Amino acid sequence: MRGLFFLLLCSNVTQAEIVTPHASEKVMGSVSMDSIEKQRGIFTAEVGFGRKANLTIDPKLQAKAEQILKKSKAREGAMVLLGRDGRILAISGIKRTDKGTEVARELALSIWAPAASIFKLVTVSALLESGLPPTHPVCYHGGRRSVVATNLKDNPQKDRHCSDLAHGLIHSQNAIIGKLAAKHLTRSSLARAAKRLGFGRRSTTELPVALGSVELPAKKLEFARVSAGFRKTNISVLSAAGLASIFANKGVYYRPRIIDRVMDEKGRPFETMPGPAHRVVDEDTASQVKSMMTKVVTHGTGRRGFLTKGGVPIIPAGGKTGTLSRYGKDYRQYSWFVGFAPADNPKYSVAVLLANPRKWHMKSHTAARLILSEAIKQK
């Protein structure tokens, strides 16, 4: 299927202006998740017309992904691991019910949680492209769990902390990202970056990936909140893994693919070419974001998943965390991690999303480190 995304842009009037693909463009994929099975150590799936496809899924990594998600004890969870060239090496999902844990691979393809702070990767890319360096200074206050109107204005009495753009991404500092976005970005500039990075770009894959979205309001405060990852941004786990892979691959996007080769009715193989690759971010911008992402796991919000108690990196990696909570009777804490490994020459990209109850057992950065460690060990 063509994994389609749509971009929602608010106009200056109250009602939003919505741009969506035509209904006829929502074509289902050629690989059915329900038909995936393991035969003689190889994952296969039906692709229609009496044909089967050998898939790119690595049996050992797939088993590890399923084991990690089950161990997480999340209410819902999904994980996707990509190879450097876009091959889907593991794709897994789980749901916990009264009867126990159920396999739910569709959670890797559907949208069931906000994108949260992983959208900061888009905003920071747009800021860098606007001419701001990672060391661009900014003084701020608050911003730990929200963005409010006072965060957007320079106030020497309140702005008692000063740092830079890189600090905003590494520590997921909402006031920094919101303030810089409000000052230096427009809806058009952020929309262009979002589209290139997967929140609007038309992509193709053989799986029925849900549409992603971002809504960019006209009001300054709401725009800053969206820029920092609050509200109105959605993405699937598969697409989020593709987002991480762009920075791992120096700004080049490889279409995620699950078909290795197609077999005809008599079991004879057709040659299947790798998906197309094209540049979506210039190499300098991608390298700067990649450098910040490596510091996320050594000094920032992802360090607890990737460092020993003594502060030693378990594996060299890069990434971005994201956390948002849904309050009420059916509480969920959505925990995101997107990233890559090894840090210096990435071979794998990953996305993990866990919906944890109030008493959680694992965060997504830990789950991501476990599958990346297994991938590096096997190869």
Domain parsing of the chain, residue ranges = 8-378
Q: Where are the beta strands (DSSP E) in the chain?
A: 8-10, 16-18, 37-39, 42-48, 51-55, 76-83, 88-97, 100-103, 137-140, 161-164, 213-216, 233-234, 252-254, 259-263, 269-270, 277-279, 318-326, 332-341, 348-356
| β-bridge mates for residue 261, sequence order | 54
As a dihedral over the C-alpha atoms of residue 372, residue 290, residue 211, residue 147, rounded to 10 degrees, the angle is 110
Output the six-digit token pair for 326: 């849904």
**90-105: per-residue pLDDT in tens?**
999 999 988 888 999 9
Which CATH class, in words, describes the domain spanning 8-378? Answer: alpha beta
Give residue 14's pLDDT: 33
Give residue 337's pLDDT: 98
pTM over 0.85: yes
- Spans of the chain, pLDDT less than 50: 1-29
Nearest-angstrom CA–CA distance, 250 and 46:
34
Give residue 202's pLDDT: 56
Give residue 138's pLDDT: 97
Give residue 206's pLDDT: 84
Give residue 98's pLDDT: 81
> What sections of 73-154 are H helices per DSSP?
120-129
Give residue 10's pLDDT: 37
**52-72: per-residue pLDDT in tens?**
889 999 999 999 999 999 999
Give residue 18's pLDDT: 31
**279-303: per-residue pLDDT in tens?**
999 999 999 999 999 999 999 999 9
Give residue 13's pLDDT: 32
